[in-house]
Copies of this chain bind each other. A is one copy, B any other.
Amino acid sequence: MKMKRVLVANRGEIAVRVIRACRRIRLESVAVFSEADRAALPVRMADFACLIGPAAPGESYLNIDRIIAAAHRYKADAIHPGYGFLSENPVFAARVVDEGLTWIGPPAEAISLMGDKIAARRLITKQGVPIVPGSDGPITDPAAALAEAQKAGFPILLKAVAGGGGKGMRLVEKPEDWIASFEAAAREAERAFGDGRMYWEKYLQQPRHIEIQILGGPDGKAISLGERECSIQRRHQKVIEESPSTVVDPDMRARMSQAAVTAAQGCGYIGAGTVEFLVDRDRNFYFLEMNTRLQVEHPVTEAVTGCDLVIEQFRIAGGNGWTPPPLPPEPFGHAIEFRIYAEDPQNNFLPSPGTLSVYREPQGPGVRVDSGVYQGGEVPVHYDPLIAKLVVWGRDRTEAIGRAQAALEEFAVGGVATTIDVHRRVIAHPEFVNGNTTTDFLPRYLASTDGDAPIDADLRRALAVAATLYTRRQTERRSRTVGSGSASPERSDWLAAARREGVRRWSVLN
């Protein structure tokens, strides 16, 4: 049975990304949307669109029954979950299959296995892949566990077995804090996941976060598409990702790829997945976890391999066998992704929802933007504030950074605050330019700067002129509105001025 119509069980930029892939290979798409997303870009771009509930995710994007009902109603024969929401929910994956639909993702069993951090660690250890030293099961006796942890060496990270998103996680600096931290973290995990089981890992200091993209074929054989370095993070969220990594050479790439392929094949993985590693100063790598979905940062891999990962997902799930895509022998050039959030860096990264009064994406050779918004549209308050991903490609890292600076400057967003300026400052930083960044780089950098680089004198004067012109115009418009009684004073005034000047919209200061 050939796949014909794909329901996209997501929103925002990733829903747009999947719909674009559908259009490119002439698959029909069904968007689902909450009441907060009635005018959202995926709804505009899909062939079909179905309202599935109120803004609250539990009543819409996380509601399995409503999504399945939408799929049947609009005769979708496949479901792509994107990332986040239901993408790593094995119950959903199994349900999709039970309903006779094609699941664009790995088997539910692989999702389950890798979702249980302890089970994943055990499997990986058995396969001979190095893992971060730590407990080989949930902690049953905290005192006994402390003895083991002391052998591995402090600091130690306590983590929830059912964990995710930093909840139920505690960094323990010294043995004296062990018991108190364990109890607090277990309570938190119990509250957050209904599962208070904890395990521990040695805390690697100043590690890099490097991950391998894999594609598992329907025959159980997986291939590696190389690494992504994701060490620029804030609050355990990736902010900037790149490929290749500045510390990975062909030999290390081959070894990491082999480890990732072994991990994927060991859990019967089919489809696109990512094996995450921590890398220490001596370039030793340790398995961290496997993400059983398409990653936010998949475009950097696409840029250096020429491979369309979403379309590969469709091909793998299509059930007609699968030929791995041709890959260049080495990464072709260098790619960097910047996550653009609607957050205000000058105000402690508070989310900044609102109407996008201006939205113009950068362009030019080697520039790609994946986004889920448009000028005049809204960034709703209910969801993740990621509005766009800027992906730049260059023949080498230096060219990519130069292109990134220009593209970030060109990215025009009005109506909401964004993290664009933070990216500009980060990539101008010598440590980033030299490729010497570890996961503590961004928090350290942000703590060390208030972001207020001095303002060049010309710019300062131009800002003063612009602010003054704006205020003068507002004042004049207000007084005219009151005085003239015209229904639309602004426009006619505008046109009259244009006629006077001989050119529409041009004015000289007077």
Q: How many copies does the complex hold?
A: 2
Chain B residue contacts of A370, Cβ below 8 A: 363-364
Q: Tell me the nearest residue of chain B to A401, going by C-beta.
A: B24
What is the minimal beta-carbon distance from A351 to any residue of chain B, in angstroms? 18
Chain B residue contacts of A410, Cβ below 8 A: 20, 23, 45
Contact yes or no, B24 A402, CB < 8 A: yes
Chain B residue contacts of A17, Cβ below 8 A: 364
Chain B residue contacts of A308, Cβ below 8 A: 365-366, 395, 399
Q: Which residues of A, 11-47, contact B by the 8 Å Cβ criterion?
A: 17, 20, 23-26, 35-36, 38-39, 45
Contact yes or no, B39 A506, CB < 8 A: yes
Q: How far is the CA of A24 from the CA of B398 in the complex (A)?
A: 10
Q: Tell me the nearest residue of chain B to A309, going by C-beta.
A: B365
Q: Which residue from B35, B365, B375, B378 sits with its C-beta under 8 Å from A368?
A: B365
Chain B residue contacts of A378, Cβ below 8 A: 504
Q: Which residues of A, 403-420, contact B by the 8 Å Cβ criterion?
A: 403, 405-406, 409-410
What is the minimal beta-carbon distance from A329 to any residue of chain B, in angstroms? 11
Contact yes or no, A302 B365, CB < 8 A: yes
Chain B residue contacts of A367, Cβ below 8 A: 368
Task: Count contacts on A: residues with CB < 8 A to the other chain.
Answer: 55
Contact yes or no, B24 A403, CB < 8 A: yes
- The interface bits of chain A over 289-310 (1 if a CB of B lies within 8 angstroms of the residue's CB, else 0) are 0000000000100110011100
Q: Which residues of A, 468-510, contact B by the 8 Å Cβ criterion?
A: 481, 485-489, 502-506
Contact yes or no, B503 A406, CB < 8 A: no
A325 adjacent to chain B (CB < 8 Å):
yes
A454 adjacent to chain B (CB < 8 Å):
no
Chain B residue contacts of A38, Cβ below 8 A: 503, 505-506
Q: Which residue from B303, B374, B481, B502 sits with its C-beta under 8 Å from A487?
A: B481
Q: Which residue from B326, B403, B488 sits with its C-beta under 8 Å from A395?
A: B326
Chain B residue contacts of A23, Cβ below 8 A: 405-406, 409-410
Find the residue from A39, A299, A402 having the highest chain B CB count within 10 A: A402
Q: Tell me the nearest residue of chain B to A303, going by C-beta.
A: B365
What are the 5 A-B residue pairs with the smallest beta carbon separation, nearest first?
A23-B406, A20-B364, A24-B402, A24-B406, A38-B506
A residues in contact (CB < 8 Å) with B: 17, 20, 23-26, 35-36, 38-39, 45, 299, 302-303, 306-308, 325-326, 328, 332-333, 360-361, 363-371, 374-375, 378, 395, 399, 402-403, 405-406, 409-410, 481, 485-489, 502-506
6 of the cross-chain contacts (CB-CB < 8 Å) are: A35-B502, A38-B505, A39-B506, A308-B399, A363-B369, A367-B368
